[in-house]
A = this chain, B = another copy of it.
Amino acid sequence: MTGVILDRCPSAGIVDICHLISARNIAQAARMLEVSYPYFPRRTIHLIVVDPGVGTDRQILVVEAAEHIFIAPDNGILTPLLHSKKLQSCSRLNIGEEQAVSSTFHGRDIMAPAAAKLAAGTAVAELARLIDPEKCVTISFPSPQIEKNRITGEVTAIDHFGNILTSIRADHISAMNTALEVCIGKTTIRDIRTAYAEVAPQSPVALINSRGDLEIAVNAGNAAEKLHCKVGDIVVVRSCQYR
């Protein structure tokens, strides 16, 4: 894909954000995109190839939002943008017949050439046709269950430090005004902190991380191993009124 882009637009600057999305995990890719793209310059072209439907009749979207451009399969990856006030336009890529196109790697054969054309100055409207964003595929994200004094979410990912990422976000928690504790497996962690090193080395810590999500870590250790935790495990935030 890098070769294809540089061949058509030699001045393009190309950045690999992430090659660590689990295979075919559209929700994980969507979340990664949502938290990454705002840090890039306006008019950046974001090309996302998590594409389990490659070779079927699934369409390819070209979306403008928040003054960025996004090219991705119409499979839900762009859900956070399609449902957002930041959406500026939603189009379907015109796919010509002229190229030799594989049925297993449209990232290389269709999406990268389109990205290169946009990078070289072609307008979105020359490559794609406006569609109703309501007609695009969207996905639902694991949404925590909110009760009085209790939020029930789940582990969404383990990062390479062994830190445990959850589906619970800062704004879910900020509505709870009492002292809090976080339960995962057999472990209960008092209070939600702001930094790993606020607890002793090898102690578990719950905090709001740099994405704005609840994260469970072990200071200077591997939380997933130490707490015997895996993706999908239940995480509960609750008031601890009796301490």
Residues of chain A having any CB pair with chain B under 8 Å: 2-4, 6-7, 10, 13-15, 17, 23-24, 36-37, 39-41, 44, 52-56, 102-105, 108-109, 160-162, 194-198, 207, 209-210, 215, 219-220, 222
Contacts and interface: CB of A to CB of B under 8 A. Distances in A.
A194 B55 contact: yes
A197 B109 contact: no
A55 B196 contact: yes
Copies of the polypeptide in the assembly: 3
Given A4-B39, A15-B6, A207-B104, A54 B160 contact: no
A104 B15 contact: no
B102 A209 contact: yes
A195 B37 CA distance: 30
Given A39-B3, A104-B210, A197 B162 contact: no
Nearest to A108: B210
A55 B198 contact: yes
A3 B6 CA distance: 19
Contacts of A103: 194-195, 207
Nearest to A13: B6
B6 A40 contact: yes
A53 B201 CA distance: 11
A49 B14 CA distance: 22
